[in-house]
C-alpha cells in the first residue's frame, strides 16, 4: 500500500506564500491525494483533491489562496497571502485496495 511522506514542520511570514509537499512512495506516483487542514483544537477540514496531472478540486468555501500542483511523486499545497488562521496542521491522504493512508502531517507556523 502507498506511504505518504510530509515534512514535520514549515514556517512562513504573514502575507507571504508557502508550498507544502506530500511525497508518494515508489510505485504509487500516479495516485490521487487529498489535502486536509486541521486548526488547533478543531476537526480536520477537507481542502482539495489533487491528481497527478496537477488538476485539483477544492472543497466548498476553501479560499482562492489555496492551490495544488503535482510533479512526479510529489503533491504540493501552496498557500498564498498567508493569514494567521492558516497556522494549522496539514495532512495529505490517499487510498488504495480498501485501505486509506494519511501522511504524518506538516505543522505550519505563520510568523
Partner 1 sequence: EVQLVESGGGLVQPGGSLRLSCAASGFTVSNNYMTWVRQAPGKGLEWVSIIYSGGSTYYADSVKGRFTISRDSSKNTLYLQINSLRAEDTAVYYCASINGGATVHWGQGTLVTVSS
Which residues contact partner 1 by CB under 8 A? Answer: 32, 34, 36, 38, 43-46, 49, 57, 59, 89, 91, 93, 95, 98-105
Q: How far is the CB of 95 from partner 1 (least distance, A)?
A: 6
Residue labelled with grid coordinates 488504495: 96
Nearer to partner 1, 16 or 109 (CB): 109
CB of 38 to partner 1, least distance (A): 8
Q: How far is the CB of 15 from partner 1 (least distance, A)?
A: 28
Whole-angstrom Cα distance, residue 1 to residue 64? 32
Nearest to 74 by CA among 2, 13, 20, 10: 20
Supply φ then ψ for residue 44, to 5 degrees.
-60, 155
Amino acid at each position: 500500500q502507498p506511504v505518504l511522506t510530509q515534512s514535520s514542520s514549515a514556517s512562513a511570514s504573514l502575507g507571504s506564500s508557502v508550498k507544502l509537499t506530500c511525497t508518494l512512495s515508489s510505485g504509487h506516483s500516479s495516485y490521487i491525494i487529498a489535502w486536509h487542514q486541521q486548526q488547533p483544537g478543531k476537526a480536520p477540514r477537507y481542502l482539495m483533491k489533487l491528481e497527478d496531472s496537477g488538476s485539483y478540486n477544492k472543497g466548498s468555501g476553501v479560499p482562492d489562496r489555496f492551490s495544488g500542483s503535482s510533479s512526479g511523486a510529489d503533491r504540493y499545497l501552496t498557500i498564498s497571502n498567508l493569514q494567521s488562521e492558516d497556522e494549522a496542521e496539514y495532512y495529505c491522504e490517499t487510498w488504495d485496495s480498501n485501505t486509506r493512508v494519511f501522511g504524518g502531517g506538516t505543522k505550519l507556523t505563520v510568523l
